Amino acid sequence: MDKKKVRDSKNYKLVELKSPLSYFKKFWLYIWYDDSIGSYIANFAFAYVFIKFLLFPVLGLLLGTSFPIVAIVTGSMEHKVVQGSICNNKIIASGVTSLDEDEWWDHCGNYYVDNFNLTQDDFKNFEYSNGLDIGDVLILKGSEPENIEIGEVLIFIPQDRNFYLTKGPVIHRVVNKWKDEDGKFHFQTKGDHNSKSFENFENDIIEDNVLAVSAVRIPYLGYVKIVLTNVIFFVSGYGGI
């Protein structure tokens, strides 16, 4: 441990001064090796600061978006049934039932054919053709509006401002795209699990509200965020696990 010795002029004795590096080492050991509650709190605080102010900005710079990572926290893109329905078609399931491509298309395909002239073969060529699950993490990248294609998974600010303020950005699949008189692109999306494309937040997404498109999917990692969010809601009184 680096130390400097100075003479205390009042008490006439040598005083050891620790270098900044020694304090950093002590702090580092406290975070990673101490078992106290304070250490765990400091660990979470350190991780939050690291992710928010270092990891996110660096990834955003590399990937061309200010929104480089998201976690899937709802079932709107799932091809699963949990004792309920999918695309508003009633399915009674015991536990979780995952649908294969044909089963999912039998329940949800008519909407795509009737409204967007998209066939099952079209859908099989889309990214994440088997949907996205709760707990998935998506690494995102920026994309010019003209390069965004039907079938891609889009992350965007919804039309309804109140929806955005309460629920945040939306992660749905592009099902329609057009250009207005001013040359601006517009998009329409739909959640694979949902019965339709909803008018209040996703039937006319202007290009300025597009945050990113999906680049890489990492299964299960998002459960860390889901658990922590639920714990925060529980402690604050806004909800529970």
Highest mean pLDDT pick, 29-33, 36-40, 195-199: 195-199
> pTM of whole model > 0.95?
no
Reported as a single tens digit per residue, the pLDDT across 53-91 is: 666 566 556 656 667 788 898 899 999 998 888 998 888
Check residue 164 and give its pLDDT: 87
Pairwise pLDDT comparison (30 vs 88), residue with the higher score: 88
Check residue 113 and give its pLDDT: 97
Question: Does 106 score more than 70 pLDDT?
Answer: yes
pLDDT classification of 95: cutoffs 50, 70, 90: confident
Question: Average model confidence (pLDDT) for the chain?
Answer: 80
Question: Does 41 score more than 90 pLDDT?
Answer: no
Q: Where are the domains of the chain?
A: 21-63, 69-226
User: How many Cα atoms within 13 Å fall on the side-chain side of residue 1?
Assistant: 12
Q: Are 207 and 186 in contact (CB under 8 A)?
A: yes
What's the chain look like in SS3?
CCEEEEEECCCCEEEEEECHHHHHHHHHHHHHHCCCHHHHHHHHHHHHHHHHHHHHHHHHHHHCCCCCEEECCCCCCCCEEEEEEECCEEEEEEEEEECCHHHHHHHHHHHHHHHHCCCHHHHHCCCCCCCCCCCCEEEEECCCHHHCCCCCEEEECCCCHHHHHHHCCEEEEEEEEEECCCCCEEEEEECCCCCCCCCCCCCCEEHHHEEEEEEEEECCCCHHHHHHHHHHHHHHCCCCC
Pairwise pLDDT comparison (33 vs 110), residue with the higher score: 110
Non-local CB neighbours of 28 within 8 Å, separated by 6+ positions? none
Reported as a single tens digit per residue, the pLDDT across 119-139 is: 999 999 999 999 999 989 898
Return the bridge partners of 167, or none.
none
